[in-house]
Structure 1
Amino acid sequence: MGGRAFLANGLCTPRMTTNVYQQVLQNVETKLRNHFTFVGHPTEAPGKTTHGDLDIVVCQLKTKSQENGASGDFLARILGAYTWKRTPGNSEFHFALPWPEWDFDLDQCPVRDLETTVQDLRISNNIQPDPTRPNAQIRKQIYIQADIRICPTHQVFQWHLFHHSHGDFWAIVGSSIRRFGLTITNEGLMVRIPEIEPHNRTAARIKVTDDPTTVRQFLGLDVDRFWKHFTDYNDIMDYAATCRFHDPAHWTDKAETDRKYDMMDGREARRVAKRDMFAYWIQSYLPAHVDDKPGPSSHMSREDVVLEASRIPVIGRDFSARFQAKREEWVTKHGRDNFWVNVRELLKANNCAGGYAIKGLKREITSEETPLTPSPSSDEGRALAFVRAAYQNHMFAIVLDWISKNWEAVGQRQEALDREISRQKMRAKRERMAQENISSHSDAQQTMVVEVMTVHLE
């Protein structure tokens, strides 16, 4: 899409021809390389003939004294920008650059999605083309949008270029690897934890790696081919289909039934409607290749993927352990949260408002040593110890059964404990007030003695 950052400012930033795009991109990157160690841009999708904006990534200022100056004003001075703005919440800046003076094909350049040209736009605004008019005067109203992202580290810089290259390439690969619990994000290759995913998609993710080479190797994609030129959609999709998890037969329903969106999540369905490259993958390429040979790993389960990832040295042998630890942590918390919801429902069903009962149950079940609980040597004490162990091991059905039989006694013990605590607090308060009165009385007596002695001396 691109080129829309300055619509609210009333600036015209029409789409660029490839010639204009390449020349301006080269000029901007040359200027930035005088100030940044790393400068680059994502590779464009194949077949693009016009471009909405420039997307440039930079990292590591060369002069430390400029660290506080890597701002919009600093970059605008470098680029000679007309104006700039920053996207709230991230490190991306948008700049309006003057249209180059040497471009004499401007009049036929399409203006974004307005279905018009720059020439028509000028005429509609009573700006008549004049062959005798200096070129610079005409072009003062036309700008190029340049988006520049400052990356905090070289690793982030590399990943951003990798993740945003070739248009919707990673959305295409993502549609093949999603059922294996794999996701490509702005942070790296992620594995989703199935128990968490229905409740929180973001929290369900755990990073596998953010190394571009490792990602291509793990997915079975040719490492060197990625950075080479793709001639058209079919060329790049042939490459995407070499992913070892891709199974053409998985998409048969899309080609043979009217339920073509059933196997996509909501974001993929919206992407089909808005993105030509992804729509071609779903609507044209996949139906034409449903009989192709599946990838060698297309039969794997999500658990197999986690285990295989942990065997890759670059990823680390502890990956499986980290995955399991995060899953168990969430399952434990989610299970206990649901358990206490069920406890409250049980108490409500027994016409108990909660209060002492729920407070006492949490105290006795979750704590080892608490006052006013049955003696450990008694039958009740041994039963309570068993229930505590069941709770720690997530055997909530056993705990809930015990609660259904003992909640009244637990509530009575909690009420007695709260009253005893209240009495102790009142007793301590009375003792404190009495001590304060004694101190006050003693101070008053001392004052009287001093006053009497003063009068006597006078």
Structure 2
Amino acid sequence: MGGSAFSASLPASALPRIPPAVYYAVKARLTPRLETLYSVVSTPHEAPEKADHGDLDFLVCEPLNGAMGEVPHDAVQTLLVARYVVPMPGNRTSSYAVCITPGEWGPLGHASEEKEARRQAMETDNQQELYYQVDVHVCSDKAEWERIQFFNGYGDLGMIMGLIARNKGLALGSKGLKVPHVPRTPFELSVSMDEIMQYMGLSMERWKAGFRTKQEVFEWVATSPLFDPVRFQAEGQGFKKVKPERKMYAQFVQWVREQQKHLVESGSAEGALRHTMDQEEQVQHALKYFGKKEEFDALNREDAEKARLREGFNGTKVRAWTELTGGQWKELKLIMDEVRGRVGGEPGILKILDERGEEGIKEYVLQAKEKLGVQSAALPEQKEAAEA
């Protein structure tokens, strides 16, 4: 069956799969209505060879109400004549259940399919009405709309491109091209799909022209220099598990497996490998291409310095050097602050670590303890020994 947004209010049988002719007719009917609320209204390019549809997806942005705020969900519900709505605030996807008028599919050549859908709904769930699930995703601006429009176009193509990028140590999604940067958030390379496509060596004009078959999609995306059939992976660490309904994605993976088998059997795998970059080479290439290498390297240096500080100057080590007890946390802080102030903060500590190692820091710690007159509190066993 179709969409699942209304599982709490409607049985699955109430949302039948939609034949292509019906899908395009409903899309043509609802698009002008949404255009009275938003200046930009579109649906992502449909997957090639798609037999039917589960729902209708609209991408919208730039409200026409003259206000900077959101278009109220009830206004969209009224406009679409939707019986039910699952509203989501902000730049997210809201779902609307639009009633299928009895006999609506007949003039489009699908009377029998509608009759069968109604029979199943009645017999299975005593459900008399059928609905289309209409999803409306509100984009924050035109730039976000362009990215989501691209990434959701032609079925699983965006996910396939993301898989190719992931194989090269990059992350591609509806928010652009990035470099994974643990423990930081992913490092942004570009949010422009034109730039990203150019980097991946794929023609935007060819993408706009469309694809008649999934085979055309596979062959086109495989022309990217980033596509590496020898090292290609779709499972394992770093790869997300894909939902079973992503059949086009699974078919692409199988298609690549066949390419790999052919390379091995023909003895040409090693030669193909020489013409591609490994992950680290690709990441460095991308950073230079987008002019982000200096910024990325600076962040890495900052992270490395923080790690050295945590390792060479921390509460555990200072406590051991000064023989402070666990309850003397105030004294511990005073000593550490005194050291920082005396050597010029973290840069000074790093310099001492570079020149003299932890022994150099330890000297400053003990000097700070003496200057502040901090005394180590007697441990319980020490107190018992003294009393005895």
- Do they superpose with TM above 0.5? yes
Does the CA contact (< 8 Å) of 2:349 and 2:361 recur in 1? no
Equivalent residue, structure 2, for 1:60: 62
Instruction: Select the residue among 161, 174, 188 that pairs with 1:207.
Output: 188
Amino acid at match of 2:83: Y
Q: Distance in 2 between matches of 1:189 and 1:388?
A: 34
- Tell me the C-alpha RMSD between the 2 structures: 3.4
* Counterpart secondary structure, 1:31: helix
* Counterparts in 2 of 1:406 and 1:40: CA distance versus 1, 3 Å: same
Residues 208-223 of structure 1 aligned to structure 2 (within 5 Å): 208-223=189-204
Instruction: Select the residue among 261, 271, 277 that pairs with 2:248.
Output: 277
Q: Distance in 2 between matches of 1:210 and 1:32?
A: 27
* Counterpart secondary structure, 2:231: helix
* Counterparts in 2 of 1:125 and 1:149: CA distance versus 1, 3 Å: closer
Q: Distance in 2 between matches of 1:88 and 1:63?
A: 17
Once the two structures are TM-superposed, the CA of residue 261 in structure 1 deviates from its matched residue by 3.5
* Counterpart secondary structure, 1:83: strand
Equivalent residue, structure 2, for 1:392: 350
Residues 7-156 of structure 1 aligned to structure 2 (within 5 Å): 7-10=7-10, 12-64=14-66, 67-68=68-69, 70-87=71-88, 90-101=91-102, 102-104=104-106, 105=110, 108=113, 117-125=117-125, 141-156=129-144
Q: Distance in 2 between matches of 1:169 and 1:77?
A: 34
Does the CA contact (< 8 Å) of 1:96 and 1:143 recur in 2? yes
Does the CA contact (< 8 Å) of 1:246 and 1:294 recur in 2? no
Query: CA offsets per residue over residues 152-173 of structure 1, 9 Å max, x none?
Result: 2111111110111122223222
Asked whether 1:347 is paired with 2:319, we answer yes
Q: Distance in 2 between matches of 1:247 and 1:411?
A: 59
Instruction: Look at both structures and tell me which one has the larger radius of gyration over its CA atoms.
Output: 1
Query: CA offsets per residue over residues 183-223 of structure 1, 9 Å max, x none?
Result: 11232111223xxx2xx3xx341222221211111011122
Size of the alignment, in residue pairs?
Answer: 359
Equivalent residue, structure 1, for 2:209: 228
Asked whether 1:242 is paired with 2:223, we answer yes
Amino acid at match of 1:239: W
Report % sequence identity.
19
Equivalent residue, structure 1, for 2:305: 332
Does the CA contact (< 8 Å) of 2:322 and 2:366 recur in 1? no
Amino acid at match of 2:84: T
Asked whether 1:188 is paired with 2:176, we answer yes
Which runs of no fewer than 5 residues in structure 2 stay unpaired?
Answer: 264-268, 376-388
Query: CA offsets per residue over residues 253-282 of structure 1, 9 Å max, x none?
Result: x6xxxxx844x5341xx2165522222222
Once the two structures are TM-superposed, the CA of residue 37 in structure 1 deviates from its matched residue by 1.6
Amino acid at match of 1:36: Y
Once the two structures are TM-superposed, the CA of residue 331 in structure 1 deviates from its matched residue by 3.2
Once the two structures are TM-superposed, the CA of residue 306 in structure 1 deviates from its matched residue by 4.1
Once the two structures are TM-superposed, the CA of residue 175 in structure 1 deviates from its matched residue by 2.3
* Counterpart secondary structure, 2:82: coil
Query: CA offsets per residue over residues 321-373 of structure 1, 9 Å max, x none?
Result: 322233333333344344445x51563598532636632442233224xxxxx
Does the CA contact (< 8 Å) of 2:90 and 2:138 recur in 1? no
* Counterpart secondary structure, 1:87: coil
Query: CA offsets per residue over residues 69-116 of structure 1, 9 Å max, x none?
Result: 611011112211112122356432211111144213366369xxxxx9
Query: CA offsets per residue over residues 221-263 of structure 1, 9 Å max, x none?
Result: 1221112332333321111211211111113xx6xxxxx844x
Equivalent residue, structure 1, for 2:383: none
Asked whether 1:157 is paired with 2:135, we answer no
* Counterparts in 2 of 1:308 and 1:88: CA distance versus 1, 3 Å: closer
Amino acid at match of 1:175: L
Equivalent residue, structure 2, for 1:286: 256
Does the CA contact (< 8 Å) of 1:339 and 1:396 recur in 2? no
Q: Distance in 2 between matches of 1:204 and 1:294?
A: 33
Amino acid at match of 1:39: V
Residues 404-415 of structure 1 aligned to structure 2 (within 5 Å): 404=362, 407-415=365-373
Query: TM-score under structure 2 normalisation?
Result: 0.79
